A and B are shown apart, each in its own frame.
Chain A
Amino acid sequence: MFAELKELWRFRELLFSMVQRDLKIRYKNSFLGFLWSLLNPLITVLTMTVVFKVIMGNKMPNLGAYIFAAYLPYMFFQLCLLDSSQTILLNIQLIKKIYFPREILPLASAISNFIHFLLGLLVLFLFLLVVYIGFPGPNGVRIWPFHSSIVVLPVLLFMSFCLATGFSFLISAANTFYEDVKYIVAVILYLMFFICPIMYFSEQVYYCDANKANPWLYRLYYLNPIATLCNAYRRSILAPQPVPLKGITYPAIGMDWKYVAIAFVVSVGVLLIGYHVFNRLKWRFVERP
């Protein structure tokens, strides 16, 4: 693995310009350009907030921000994994003709998605400031949106990047040989959205009847590193709030460090395994039948 990393370092300039090319091409022929990547989550979150507030009657103050904070990291996974499935196949003509470390392709795709993610977080912070200044809560009480737990955000970003890149390596390599993989990934990601705490709250999982009967449900739920990460982002950026559920208001649950630690180990593990598998298979890409 070290020889491969050394070779990758030698080609760092190529990686850098691949990312640049990726960002440039993505919106080159569209009028709104880069704004599309920021507009998309905003519109989604707005729709979800309206549906939950108006139709489902969720009384949680500042609900939009809570959805936004968990939706952004999820969207990063989704886009990263879906994009990665095609990276090798889209560039197969290139890798058939010129040598460069093949891992640059999924890596560049992951990095450019990560940059979009960071910009999305920036939009979230702007959104929080706008809400704080412009829309005070009930009784005119303003809740300062940022609090000290935001210091763990870099760690969460690192975990997200490792996890998404590791899966990108695995998926891009697998999809090169079996193109069914991208459809399977799309279905899994679609379903994953519902079993991650994005549209609802972690407390709702913890206090639900099923979990009261079988307490392992909550543990199983958070063994999924993506669910843990979505929840951790929400808790590091926003203050935990009591959650109203079926007429009873349940107390907020703080950051659950045990599951974050498990997710950390899983994320780094996925990256290492993904990189190893990719390197084992990368020479066979060009000989794809």
Chain B
Amino acid sequence: MSPTIAIKGLRKEFRLSHTGSIKTALLWWKKRKIERLEVLRGIDLEVLPGECVAVIGRNGAGKSTMLSLLARVYKPTSGSVEVKGRIAPLLELGAGFHPDLTGIENIFFNGIILGLTRQEIRTRMDRIIAFSELERHIDSPVRTYSSGMLARLGFSVAMHVDAEVLLIDEVLAVGDFEFEQKCFAKIDHFKTDGGTILFVSHEMPDVRRVATRCVWLNKGVIRAEGDPEEIIPLYEGGDRAPGVTP
């Protein structure tokens, strides 16, 4: 089986210059050396259809950057990222929602950004609204929504675009218990249908619950990967955990 996600030698570097006004750009003789921050330092990863890979690691390890690179928000400094099929990124709640538009208008807009046509959204509209349980609020502007409601709407749209790949960055934490259960059921369903999921989480019970594989990212490189039951204890053991070669 050919992998849905293929990451080869992926590196990502950010410039930490503090410019922002033309003045600093014009004062060329005062130019300081541009600081560079290497967030990802060579990642190789392949994810097969039907896999659900959890990415764990400390803050600043490069987890979100990796997801953003997969979502084509950034361009890699070097290396390559290949994703087959449509991607539904859930990198932040309510990204792509406009506060002044109603729920329905935002579903249209978000669906189109994710690659659906108007007609396709129209046929899915009822299912999206039903899943989000927002029937009463769907005609109100999104600015009146709570963060939980935004999470439900965003997740609901992303789950109904028939994506092959789902990228989730810690966005499930805001929903209530019941909705979370519903999401996990939907994710399980998505997996059995052959969809690929890559998600970032700090909630180890969630990782154990849905992940088929676990990747521990540390300081921009993969420290260890494998079965969640093996990796999580290593990660929780910290840097001094025995049997880990950095």
Q: Interface residues, chain A, CB within 8 Å of chain B?
A: 13-14, 17, 21, 24-25, 28-29, 93-100, 177-181, 283, 286-287, 289
Q: Within the assembled complex, what's the spacing in Å between the Cα atoms of A260 and B241?
A: 75
Does B98 lie within 8 Å of A21, measured CB to CB? yes
Bitwise, B28-52 to A at CB < 8 A (1) or not (0) is 0000000000000000000000000
Question: B112 near A13 (CB under 8 angstroms)?
Answer: yes
Q: Mark B147-168, 1 if CB is under 8 A from A, else 0.
A: 0000000000000000000000
Which of B54-62, B68-76, B126-134, B213-221 lies on the face that meets chain A? B68-76
Cβ of B244 under 8 Å from chain A? no
The CA of A188 and the CA of B210, in the complex, are separated in Å by 58
- Minimum CB–CB distance from A101 to chain B (whole Å) comes to 10
Interface set, chain B 68-120, CB cutoff 8 A to A: 68, 71-75, 87, 89, 91-92, 95-96, 98, 100-101, 105, 108-109, 112-114, 117-118
Known A-B contacts: A21-B101, A94-B95. Give 17 more (CB < 8 A).
Answer: A13-B112, A13-B117, A14-B113, A17-B108, A21-B98, A24-B105, A93-B95, A96-B95, A97-B96, A98-B91, A99-B72, A99-B87, A99-B89, A100-B113, A289-B16, A289-B19, A289-B20
A-B contact pairs, 15 of them (CB 8 A): A14-B113, A17-B118, A24-B101, A93-B95, A97-B91, A97-B96, A98-B73, A99-B89, A178-B25, A179-B21, A180-B22, A283-B74, A286-B73, A289-B16, A289-B18
Residues of A close to B23: CB separation below 8 A: 180
- A97 with B92, Cβ < 8 A, contacts A13-B112, A14-B113, A24-B101 known: yes
Does B14 lie at the interface of the complex (its beta carbon under 8 Å from any beta carbon of A)? Answer: yes
B73 touches A21 (CB 8 A): no
Listed in ascending order, the chain B residues whose CB lies under 8 Å from chain A are 14-23, 25, 68, 71-75, 87, 89, 91-92, 95-96, 98, 100-101, 105, 108-109, 112-114, 117-118
Nearest B-chain residue to A174, judged by Cβ: B22
- The answer to whether A28 touches B100 (Cβ under 8 A) is yes
Contacts of A179 in B (CB 8 A): 20-21
Known interface pairs A286-B74, A289-B19; A98-B109 also in contact (CB < 8 Å): no
Partner of B75, one of A29, A100, A283: A283
Give A14 to B23 CA distance when docked, in angstroms.
37
A286, B68: Cα distance in complex, Å: 11
**Complex: chain A residue closest to B106, CB-CB:** A21
Q: Using Cβ atoms and an 8 Å threshold, which residues of chain A touch B74?
A: 283, 286-287
Q: Which 9 A-B pairs have the closest CB atoms?
A: A97-B95, A99-B72, A97-B91, A180-B22, A283-B75, A178-B22, A97-B92, A14-B112, A17-B112
CB distance B117 to A98 under 8 Å? no
| Chain B contact residues, majority secondary structure | loop
Across the interface, A178 reaches (CB within 8 A) one of B21, B68, B101, namely: B21
A104 to chain B, nearest CB (A): 10
Whether B73 pairs with A95 at a CB distance below 8 angstroms is yes
- With A21-B101, A283-B75 in contact, is A98–B89 under 8 Å at CB? yes
Separation of A286 and B75 alpha carbons in the complex (Å): 10
B residues within 8 A CB of A96? 68, 73, 91-92, 95
Residue of B nearest to A18 (CB): B109
Chain A's closest residue to B116 (CB) is: A13
Chain A residues contacting B105 (CB-CB under 8 Å) are 21, 24
Interface residue from B22, B87, B100, B109 paired with A29 (Cβ < 8 Å):
B100
What separation, in Å, do the CA atoms of A180 and B89 have in the docked complex?
33
For A98, give its contact among B14, B19, B95 (CB under 8 Å).
B95
B21, A99: Cβ atoms closer than 8 Å? no
Assembly CA distance A177 to B72 (angstroms)? 21
Cα–Cα distance between A97 and B87 once the two chains are bound (Å): 12
B138 to chain A, nearest CB (A): 17
Least Cβ distance of A31 to chain B in Å?
16
A28–B112 CA distance with the chains assembled, in angstroms: 21
What residues on A are CB-neighbors of B72 within 8 Å? 99
Q: How far is the CB of A93 from chain B (nearest CB, A)?
A: 6
With the chains together, A241 CA to B98 CA distance in Å? 49
**Residue among A13, A99, A179 with the most chain B CB within 10 A?**
A99
Residues of A within 8 A of B14 (CB): 287
Cross-chain contact A13 with B101 (CB below 8 angstroms): no
B73 contacts A25, C-beta separation under 8 Å: no
Which residues of A are found within 8 Å of B114, using beta-carbon distances? 98
**Chain B residue at smallest Cβ distance from A104:** B113
| A94 & B96 in contact (Cβ 8 Å cutoff) | yes
Residues of A with C-beta under 8 A to B22: 178, 180-181
A99 touches B98 (CB 8 A): no
